[in-house]
Amino acid sequence: MKIAVVGTGYVGLVSGTCFAEWGHEVICVDKNAEKIAGLLKGRLPIYEPDLDEMVARNQAAGRLAFTCDLAAAVANAQVVFIAVGTPSRPGQGDADLSFVYMAAREMAPFLAEGAVVAVKSTVPVSTGDAVEKIIAHARPYGSFSVASNPEFLREGAAIGDFLKPDRVVVGVEDGRARAVMAALYQEALGETPLVFTDRRTSELIKYAANAFLATKITFINELADLCEKVDCNVGELALGIGLDRRIGTSFLNAGPGYGGSCFPKDTLALLRTAQDYGVVLRIVEETIVANEARKRKMALKVIEAVGGDVEGLTIAVLGLTFKPDTDDMREAPSVPLIETLQRYGAVVRAYDPVGLQNAARLLEDVTLLDDPYECARNSDAVVVLTEWDSIRRIDLGRLRRLVRTPVLVDLRNALEPGAASAAGFHVSVVGQRSEHAEWANPTTDEPDFEKTASGLPRMVRGK
């Protein structure tokens, strides 16, 4: 089947490449000439494990092409996917659909007879209706269909999610579109559930799924706070409830809050949609508020771990991207955490294996390093913020020898606390009783403390 994908961002590039991997003839189009030129030379605009190899393989096989020529891209396509960005409007929270509408308007005159335009971008309810009207107005002749086909791709695992999904959701309003979309997916997916529904329900499914997962993350984070107060273990708690098949174990890892390109934007857009229709989504609203507070609260956890004051101290942050296996810094918890530490007077150094370029655009007065050990050298606390494999496998003994003060704050529970303690660290984790609750006391013999200007105890560096 001949496919055109409009937009070569995360969703468009992964989707187009995976369709080509299934044997379809795919052309991806983007207005950004620099991005297209890079793709033609094998330079990808995003980091996703194994994607570069898959792009190169399908380019070489003649199944995947890139262009800036929208007319040529859609002229012979049986299915045209709209996969452009839908960012939140600054200060408003609702989805900015200008790129979706622009794509629909500009492709309309060139669509093949009977083409299906499938919106893969994450969009609010009724967006497909608007796209249909835009195309019909710009192209008052010939037949076409508009479908909704939301993506459910996790950054860092997107290829597997696309090629072997839990389900595929398609919203259609006519039988021809249903037949085309079924033919597109069924041969490749076999027994994978192909959920057909009306277009508006399909659009809402995407937002509902992300809001539910965001709520699940926020729920376990709040339980983690309770675990710390009552001396319980949130990891064991998560296992105990997660083995209930009605709940499930995924998205029950306590941490510094959710981030990325989907959950923050989509929960806010869902809330705005509900408000437009006079519906109160109290759980979603509280999830958003709690998650934003969570990110900054983790900075206070770091401050508590060093004795209550970070003024003049050097904090080493290991991991900057919102999750491992991506270079995405959108809504990453690292940004508000670092900014909060800086406001309290800390000097911050940071390491990330692939996200430094994007981080440099968001962070000021932070020393960015591509080696975790150099990042930690002479630091007063090491903070684990993204569970990259390079951080999970870090040599704790070597790390201990490099730091000035042996404080390790693991906000992802990525390291074994016992091993870190054995290496000589005072360890603070999420959802468990942390050592600093016992040792952060100025009357103890080891480590030594000094009084700060605020009267709070602080560990003496070098001990």
Catalytic (active-site) positions: 262
Pairwise CA distance, residues 188 & 7, whole Å: 23
Pairwise CA distance, residues 152 & 146, whole Å: 19
The 3-state DSSP class for residue 244 equals coil
Alpha helices in 61-198 (DSSP H): 70-74, 98-107, 127-138, 158-163, 175-189
Name the DSSP class of 113: T
Pairwise CA distance, residues 262 & 88, whole Å: 10
| Among 406, 402, 431, 428, CA closest to 417 | 428
β-partners of residue 383 are 317, 409
Instruction: Give every CB contact of residue 46 below 8 A, 6+ residues apart in sequence.
Output: 9, 10, 13, 326, 327, 328
Pairwise CA distance, residues 436 & 305, whole Å: 6
Structure tokens at 4: 């055109």
Beta carbons of 26 and 95 less than 8 angstroms apart: no
Q: Which secondary structure element, helix H or strand E, spans residue 339, and what is its range?
A: helix 334-343
The 3-state DSSP class for residue 225 equals helix
β-partners of residue 458 are 450
Pairwise CA distance, residues 453 & 463, whole Å: 20
Pairwise CA distance, residues 245 & 230, whole Å: 27
Q: Where are the beta strands (DSSP E) in 340-462?
A: 347-351, 366-369, 381-384, 407-410, 426-429, 449-451, 457-459
Q: Which secondary structure element, helix H or strand E, spans residue 171, and what is its range?
A: strand 168-171
Q: How many Cβ atoms from other residues are within 10 Å of residue 225's Cβ?
A: 15
Name the DSSP class of 154: P
- Helix, strand, coil tally for the chain in percent (to 5): 45, 15, 40
Pairwise CA distance, residues 158 & 371, whole Å: 26
Beta carbons of 5 and 16 less than 8 angstroms apart: yes
